[in-house]
Amino acid sequence: MKHDAAAAPETPSQSWKVTLPCTRAEAEALDGDIAAFALLDRPPVLMTSEVEEDNPEAWKLEAYFEGRPGPAALKLLKALVPSAARTRPQVEQLPDEDWVTMSQQGLEPVIAGRFHVRNLPDDPAPQGLKSYLIAAGRAFGTGQHETTSGCLAMLDRMHSVGMRFRNIADIGTGTGLLAFAAMHLWPRAYATASDIDPVSVDVTEKNAEVNGVPVGGGVGQIALFTSAGVDHPAIAMRSPYDLLIANILAGPLIELAPALCACLEEGGTIVLAGLLDEQADAVMAAYRAQGMRLAERIDNGHWPCLRLRKRPRIGWRRPLRLNPQARGEAPGFGSW
């Protein structure tokens, strides 16, 4: 992701934590909801916990930032916990450890559709569900955020109604979870996963090994690429796709609309997430302009997941391969 305009310039490795007291009611209201930070380029990870076992109303909010948070970010954070309006936030730089790993360790497993996602090996895997171990680490997409769980639910629903795909791409793959889920549902498909962040691609490869997902270029295998959007020759060569998944942010989703749709075959499906309720109309308008129509929407808190279908076009003008002029770059953006 690109740098947060509200943060002071820092090296990318610096991690900061902001702590504020809050009430139990405020903590419960924050469960999984970081909508206030969605427009920041580097939103924090929020964690709440009890302060004293014998005082059930005493809680605290901890926000983990990549880079030192500026005044605007602190103001947004305080707005989430009105009881701390007169309290000065405790701001501290963390040691040289991975801020995403620290903030996500011990997260509760998530169930979305037929999928169970855990981040600790000791968490039991329920019978009847497809379980993935996605350890807390250097990439987003452990399943806890509404955008990821909404995509899992959408994929499961698509399979349940009989939809079938043979060539799948997950753009902005993060941890690889959504690509893995799609491969489980359609095991005879070709699968492509890419991310602008090479760390995410490395994490995806490791997660594939842990979860028994074969890596490679053949049927039932996942091919991994580091790419800004779809700006990679191999991604173009593997097109057209009949299913594209993009769980990123509203800005890059709009910017990538022409290139993503150029990679999609006629009648193909795109699943979009990472956008807020108030951003959905703008995102859908960008894709309608490329010949897409909204087929289904799942609302998961403030975070909708959209399924769109490409309208067939008649005649020799229909595209079969990626338009070389549609580079599909969204510089500075990573995945959730």
Q: Where are the domains of the chain?
A: 15-99, 110-310
**pLDDT score at 280:** 93
Q: Determine the topology of domain 15-99 in CATH.
A: Alpha-Beta Plaits (3.30.70)
- Distance between CA atoms of residues 22 and 13, nearest Å: 29
Q: 114: Cβ–Cβ under 8 A, 6 or more apart, which residues? A: 128, 129, 130, 156
Q: What is the pLDDT of residue 327?
A: 47
| pLDDT for position 31 | 55
Pick out the residues of the known binding site. Answer: 148, 172, 195, 247
What is the per-residue pLDDT for 51?
78
What was the pLDDT predicted at 250?
A: 87
Tokens representing residue 144 in the block: 């806890």
Full-model pTM: 0.67
Sign for the CA dihedral angle at 135, 181, 38, 23 comes to: negative
SS3 130: strand
Helix (H) or strand (E) holding 101: helix 99-104
* Tokens 């500075």 belong to residue: 332
Task: Give me the residues of the chain with pLDDT under 50, please.
Answer: 1-12, 32-33, 103-104, 106, 138-144, 316-336
Task: Choose the CATH number for 110-310 among 1.10.3720.10, 3.40.50.150, 3.30.465.10, 2.40.40.20.
Answer: 3.40.50.150
Asked whether the CA dihedral 7, 9, 11, 15 is positive or negative, the reply is negative
Cα 178 from Cα 170, distance rounded (Å): 7
Residues making up the binding site for S-adenosyl-L-methionine:
148, 172, 195, 247
